Amino acid sequence: MPLIRLADVSKVYPPLARGASALTAVDGVSLDIEAGDVYGVIGYSGAGKSTLARLINALEPATGGSIQIDGREIVGLPERELRRLRLGIGMIFQQFNLFGSKTVEQNVAYPLQVAGTPRAELRARVDEMLRFVGLSDKARSHPEQLSGGQKQRVGIARALAASPGILLADEATSALDPDTTGEVLALLRRINEELGVTIVVITHEMDVVQQLATKVAVMEAGRIVERGPVFDVFSAPREAVTRRFVSTVVRTVPSPEEAAVLRARHRGRLVTLSFSDGSASQGDVFAEIAQAGVPLELVYGGITDVRGRAFGHLTVALDAADDVIDPLLARLGARVALTEVPR
């Protein structure tokens, strides 16, 4: 049984004004998230991904469908039971949502106070969480004295204070600079690997998915249009929206317009070579081209690493006669996927 199971879930908001239409934010979504997953949910603004997160922790009631957390149906639960459920689901946000009037340790202690945690246990847990996120020396500081990355680490410590089994990260790095984003993503990996927390990452940034997630679902217009292990989705995206996201971190194949520019700049025939698990290596393919005596120029693309597995697409210009290139491509086609860019 998955830790989180959504079956045909929908969320429809009523019209805001007379004559307006209802808004379907989530439309028939089904999704299984296993314990221990780091599951990315990616989509453009308005795709429904943040609404989906709020349905998972019952901050929004579903209009239809079933949501189960650890085998328990949460749709229709009374508010008192939902409050108890939320103690097991931590959440961090883009804007940190810290109490400005409280110190760092008071912010982290807040959910434990709400839960009625005994004082000695609360004190020990706050100290433990501040050590884990590297902010023990900031315990008595106020949020205004912290950097953006430090504020997000306080938010993470607060979200973990009640020892949740699930952590929802809603655009948690969108307000951070690249270096700080890397630090926060590294912390989230530690939370998953060392504490065993299942993480659902809501984002519009494909590089966050690339660095952190093990699986990904792509949302568009309230629906999940593509899903799977991150490597599979990155290396062979099927849907147009997925290809747009992947292209932000991976240079795949040249568009017709780019191909026209490449043909004007480079002599020879343009061929795109696609590398992934199970194919010949880039070095082996290039060595075979060199042995055939065919001049090669790399003109487009790159190789990308996704959680230790490499894949990519390289477009090369091969400058030789057709009676030399044609048999070479026939041999290479048995070892690696290739596509010739139309002349």
Residues 319, 273, 278: CA angle, nearest 5 degrees = 140
Mean pLDDT of the 295-309 span? 85
291 and 202 in a single domain? The answer is no
Look at residue 343 and give its three-state secondary structure: coil
149 and 271 in a single domain? The answer is no
225 and 163 in a single domain? The answer is yes
Q: Kindly tell me if the per-residue pLDDT of 277 is higher than 80.
A: no
HSE toward the beta carbon, residue 217, CA cutoff 13 A: 24
Q: In angstroms, rounded to a whole number, what is the distance separating the alpha carbons of residues 294 and 101?
A: 69
41 and 97 in a single domain? The answer is yes
The domain boundary, picked from 226, 247, 268, lies at 247
pLDDT band at 246 (very low <50, low <70, confident <90, very high): confident
Q: Kindly tell me if the per-residue pLDDT of 250 is higher than 80.
A: no
**What CATH number has the domain bearing residue 21?**
3.40.50.300
280 and 239 in a single domain? The answer is no
Q: In angstroms, rounded to a whole number, what is the distance separating the alpha carbons of residues 308 and 234?
A: 13
Q: Kindly tell me if the per-residue pLDDT of 31 is higher than 90.
A: yes
Determine the pLDDT at residue 42: 96
Mean residue pLDDT of the chain comes to 92
**What CATH number has the domain bearing residue 265?**
3.30.70.260
Tens of pLDDT along 167-210?
Answer: 999 999 988 888 999 999 999 999 999 999 999 999 999 989 99
118 and 230 in a single domain? The answer is yes
pTM of the model: 0.86
Domain containing residue 307 = 256-340
The count of residues in the chain is 343
Q: Kindly tell me if the per-residue pLDDT of 280 is higher than 90.
A: no
Q: Report whether 316 contacts 273 (CB < 8 A).
A: yes
Out of 37-41, 135-139, 243-247, 305-309, which region has the weakest mean confidence (pLDDT)?
A: 305-309
242 and 262 in a single domain? The answer is no
Out of 228-242, 275-289, 314-328, which region has the weakest mean confidence (pLDDT)?
A: 275-289
190 and 297 in a single domain? The answer is no
191 and 284 in a single domain? The answer is no
Alpha-carbon 85 to chain mean position:
25
Q: Kindly tell me if the per-residue pLDDT of 34 is higher than 70.
A: yes
The domain boundary, picked from 195, 225, 247, lies at 247
Q: Report whether 261 contacts 312 (CB < 8 A).
A: no
Determine the pLDDT at residue 317: 93
pLDDT band at 278 (very low <50, low <70, confident <90, very high): low
35 and 102 in a single domain? The answer is yes
274 and 194 in a single domain? The answer is no
Task: State how many domains the chain has.
Answer: 2
Q: Report whether 245 contacts 214 (CB < 8 A).
A: no
Out of 86-95, 159-168, 248-257, 315-324, which region has the weakest mean confidence (pLDDT)?
A: 248-257
Mean pLDDT of the 114-142 span? 95
Task: Tell me how crowded residue 196 is: count the other CB atoms within 10 A of its CB.
Answer: 10
Q: In angstroms, rounded to a whole number, what is the distance separating the alpha carbons of residues 132 and 58?
A: 28
Q: Kindly tell me if the per-residue pLDDT of 286 is higher than 70.
A: yes
The domain boundary, picked from 217, 247, 277, lies at 247
Which has more confidence, 73 or 300? 73
136 and 239 in a single domain? The answer is yes
- Picking from 170, 228, 160, 169, the residue whose alpha carbon sits closest to that of residue 196 is 160
Determine the pLDDT at residue 164: 95
Mean pLDDT of the 77-85 span? 90
Question: Over pLDDT 90: what percentage of the chain?
Answer: 71
